[in-house]
Amino acid sequence: MHRKEPLSYDDFQWTADWIMSHTKHRPKVAIICGSGLGLLADGLQKPDSFPYSDIPGFPQSTVQGHAGRLVFGELKGKTCVCMQGRFHMYEGHSLSKVTFPIRVFKLLGVDTLIVTNAAGSLADSYNTGDIMIIRDHINIPGFSGISPLCGANDERFGPRFPAMSTAYDKGLRRLAFDICKTLGISRFVREGVYCMVGGPNFETIAEARLLHKLGVDAVGMSTAPEVLVANHCGMRVFGLSLITNKVVKDYEDKEAVNHEGVLGVSSMRSQILRTLVTELVGLMDVNNNNDAE
């Protein structure tokens, strides 16, 4: 049984109720795994795993590198849920479907969202394989009114006009940098601005130059809608971009990006990302404030 949009509070509650009836886990932390980064879910203890196709109301992921499973379990003593694969506008999903899991997570009791993605770098100082802690984002589709918050607002999730000036939690970013120093990986960890474009094509050179002038450090085709809805729901957010390629900004450059290359770099850095996220979850406070335990 699948319900049609527009989605109501009851639709989200229907899915949340199904999940709670199939697992005893009650997560406080949700992790969205980007392209090729599904290994993050493999570290969960006492896992319960559900294919998206088994979950009432859930969209389906169609992109290579996205397994399409929801995995519940424990990480460093904290109960988490991992999305092994996300949803994108370019797959034909509406943004209310792209962000459907976030509101379900809110009803499950999640108060912290960790988002990861594969992204191309526009910053001249970035290298392939770098990890960028997201300080802020630019949501290009949102500029034209393509937003998961369009339509009727349900105050049970959040306010009509949510602020986004603190979209990415400063305390969690600071904690992540401390962990990177401890792990000895600070040399390839950055902090910067992520930009979401619609895709599925990669950027033209003129588009890349424009985004560079706007102050964008890394560009991808996801993340902003989930972060927007998480903030609307009162969750704190931490975001990571794995730099999988350098975006071409020169007409003389003969390089061309492809999805297979993106997955290759994701595989190379997946273990380090898994360790970083695991340590972050272990040290964070799950009571929705900015202090580490």
140 torsion bin: left (phi>0), alpha (psi -120 to 50), beta (else): alpha
Q: How many helices (H) and strands (E) does the chain have?
A: 8, 9
Q: When comparing pLDDT for 51 and 271, which is higher?
A: 51
pLDDT band at 262; cut points 50, 70, 90: low
Residue 1 confidence (pLDDT):
38
In sequence order, what DSSP letters do the residues of 30-79 get, joined into one string? EEEE-TT-GGGGGG-EEEEEEEGGGSTT-----STT---EEEEEEETTEE
The yes-or-no verdict on residue 13 having pLDDT over 90 is yes
Residue 216 confidence (pLDDT):
98
Count of beta carbons in the 10 Å neighbourhood of residue 227: 28
Residue 65 confidence (pLDDT):
53
| Cα–Cα dist 293/138, whole Å | 31
Q: Write out the two tokens for 203.
A: 């950027």
**Catalytic site includes residue 118:** yes
**Catalytic site includes residue 245:** yes
CB-based contacts of 103, cutoff 8 Å, min separation 6: 12, 157, 229, 233
Compute the chain's Rg from CA coordinates.
18
Tell me which of 74, 259, 268, 292 is the catalytic residue. Answer: 259
Mean pLDDT of 167-181: 98
**Catalytic site includes residue 22:** no
Tell me which of 16, 61, 91, 194 is the catalytic residue. Answer: 91
CA distances from 230 to 29, 78, 168, 238 (A): 12, 19, 10, 11
CA distances from 279 to 72, 75, 134, 275 (A): 18, 9, 17, 6
Closest CA to 100 of 261, 225, 191: 225
Model confidence pLDDT, tens digit, residues 73-116: 999 999 999 999 899 999 999 999 999 999 999 999 999 999 99
Q: Write out the two tokens for 285.
A: 């406070």
Tell me which of 66, 137, 212, 232 is the catalytic residue. Answer: 66
CB 273 within 8 A of CB 116: yes
**Catalytic site includes residue 91:** yes
Range of weakest confidence among 6-10, 19-23, 63-67: 63-67
What is the b/e burial string over 107-140, where b = at least 16 CB atoms within 10 angstroms of the residue's CB?
A: bbebbbbbbbbbbbbbbeebebebbbbbbbbbbb
DSSP 3-state assignment of 151?
coil
**Catalytic site includes residue 221:** yes
pTM: 0.92
To the nearest whole number, what is the mean pLDDT of the chain? Answer: 90
Closest CA to 258 of 127, 118, 133: 118
The yes-or-no verdict on residue 190 having pLDDT over 90 is yes
**Catalytic site includes residue 67:** no
The yes-or-no verdict on residue 182 having pLDDT over 80 is yes
The yes-or-no verdict on residue 43 having pLDDT over 60 is yes
Mean pLDDT of 124-133: 94
**Catalytic site includes residue 292:** no
Tell me which of 96, 139, 147, 222 is the catalytic residue. Answer: 222
Q: When comparing pLDDT for 139 and 255, which is higher?
A: 139
Q: Write out the two tokens for 222.
A: 């996801």
Mean pLDDT of 246-261: 80
The yes-or-no verdict on residue 137 having pLDDT over 80 is yes
Q: Name the burial class of residue 47, with classes exposed (0-12), middle (13-18) and buried (19+) by CB atoms within 10 angstroms of its CB.
A: middle
Mean pLDDT of 6-28: 96
Residue 35 confidence (pLDDT):
66
CB 222 within 8 A of CB 36: no
The yes-or-no verdict on residue 280 having pLDDT over 60 is yes
Instruction: Delineate the domains of the chain, giving CATH numbers in brackets.
Output: 9-283 (3.40.50.1580)
CB 214 within 8 A of CB 124: no
Q: Write out the two tokens for 90.
A: 């370019």
pLDDT band at 71; cut points 50, 70, 90: very high
